[in-house]
Amino acid sequence: MKTIESLDIESLFTLFEESSLSEFELATEHYEVKMKRTPTAEAAKGTVPAPETKPAEPGEEVEVITSPIVGTFYLTPAPDAPPYVAIGSTVGKGDVLCTIEAMKLMNQLEAEFACQIVRVLAKPEAMVEFGAPLFEVKRL
């Protein structure tokens, strides 16, 4: 698996562009990078932006992973930690996708099957309800 350190800056930009992250910081031995998204009108209102509809390529079947509980959605294990997954990353069965904080507990949501992340559908640090779409994935 590709680690984040092995990516070049350009692909980092692309990853950030495609992600739903609002801020991203990375420091490696060789470089340090900070990216920040200018808030859009929608984000400023505090609503969850509707996922943009990108037609799936022919023959590509995507599945949606939904939230099993009501809680707060986090893509990172800690505020300054790198995200569990990003667009394009592949995860194996049992790998952690995100945490959902509920009743002061950080519930780690694990992938039920090996898959590749196509899109992150939930907004980090926002509330998710039962059944809320979290990730669009391609089964591997």
Partner 1 sequence: MIEKILIANRGEIALRIVRACKDLGIKSVVAHSTVDRDTMAVEFADEHVCIGSGPTGESYLQADNIIMAACLTRCDAIHPGIGFLSENAAFAKQVEEAGLAFIGPASDTIALVGNKVAARRIARKAGVPITPGGEEALIDLDDALRIAGSLGYPVIIKASAGGGGRGMRIVRDEEGMANAYALAKKEALLFFADGELHLERYIQNPRHVEVQLLADGHGAVVHLGERDCSVQKRHQKLFEESPAPRLSEAMREAMASASVALFRALGYRGAGTVEFLVDGPSFYFMEVNARLQVEHPVSELVSGVDLVRAQIEIAQGKGLGLSQADIHLTGYALECRINAQGAGTLTRVRMPSGPQVRVDTFLESGSVLSPHYDSLLAKVIVSAKSRDEGLAVMERALDEVIIDGVETNLGEQRQILASKLFRCGTVTTGLYGEVITQRKNHG
Binding-site ranges for partner 1 (CB under 8 A): 69-72, 102-103, 127, 129-132
Judged by beta carbon, residue 72 or residue 89, the one nearer partner 1 is 72
Contact 97, 91 (CB under 8 A): yes
Half-sphere exposure of 42 (CA within 13 A, CB side): 10
Q: How far is the CB of 130 from partner 1 (least distance, A)?
A: 5
Q: How far is the CB of 61 from partner 1 (least distance, A)?
A: 23
- 17 vs 14: CA distance, rounded Å: 5
DSSP for 81-122?
Answer: SPPS--TT-EE-TT-EEEEEEETTEEEEEEPSS-EEEEEE-S
Q: How far is the CB of 131 from partner 1 (least distance, A)?
A: 5
Judged by beta carbon, residue 86 or residue 123, the one nearer partner 1 is 123
Judged by beta carbon, residue 48 or residue 114, the one nearer partner 1 is 48
